[in-house]
Structure 1
Amino acid sequence: MKIETQRLIVRNFELRDKEDLCEYMLQRVRAEFESYPDFTVQKADQEIEYRTGSDEFFAIELKASHKVIGNVYLGKRDFNAKELGYVLNENYQNQGYGTEACTAAINYTFAHGIHRIFAECAPGNVPSWKLMEKCGLKKEAHFIKNISFHNDEQGRPIYWDTYVYAILNQDEGRLKR
Structure 2
Amino acid sequence: MRIETERLIIRNYELMDKEDLCEYMLQRVNSEFEGYPDFTAEKAESEIKYRMESDEFYAVELKDSKKVIGNIYLGKRDFNSREIGYVLNENYHRQGYITEGCIAVIEYMFKAGVHRIYAECAPQNTPSWKVMEKVGMEREAHFRKNVSFHNDANGEPIYWDTYVYAILNNM
- In the other structure, the counterpart of 1:116 is 116
> 1:150: Cα distance to partner?
1.8
- In the other structure, the counterpart of 2:51 is 51
Distance 1:109 1:13 in 2: 18
> 1:152: Cα distance to partner?
1.0
| Structure 2 residue 90 is matched with structure 1 residue 60 | no
1:35-114 matched pairs, under 5 angstroms = 35-114=35-114
> 1:149: Cα distance to partner?
1.5
Q: Secondary structure at the match of 1:109?
A: helix
> 1:155: Cα distance to partner?
1.3
* Alignment gaps of 5+ in structure 2: none
> 1:30: Cα distance to partner?
1.1
Distance 2:34 2:93 in 1: 16
TM-score (norm 2): 0.99
Deviations 1:39-94 (A, max 9, x none): 00010001000000000000000000000000000000000000000000000010
- In the other structure, the counterpart of 2:132 is 132
- In the other structure, the counterpart of 1:174 is none
Q: Secondary structure at the match of 1:98?
A: helix
- In the other structure, the counterpart of 2:29 is 29
Identical residues among aligned pairs (%): 71
Report the count of equivalent residues.
171
- In the other structure, the counterpart of 1:150 is 150
Q: Secondary structure at the match of 1:39?
A: coil
> 1:121: Cα distance to partner?
0.1
Q: Name the amino acid aligned to 1:38.
A: D
Moved over 6 A (4+): none
Q: Secondary structure at the match of 2:38?
A: coil
Distance 2:166 2:62 in 1: 27
> 1:13: Cα distance to partner?
0.4
TM-score (norm 1): 0.96
Task: Provide the alpha-carbon RMSD of the alignment.
Answer: 0.5
- In the other structure, the counterpart of 1:19 is 19
Q: Name the amino acid aligned to 1:41.
A: A
> 1:118: Cα distance to partner?
0.2
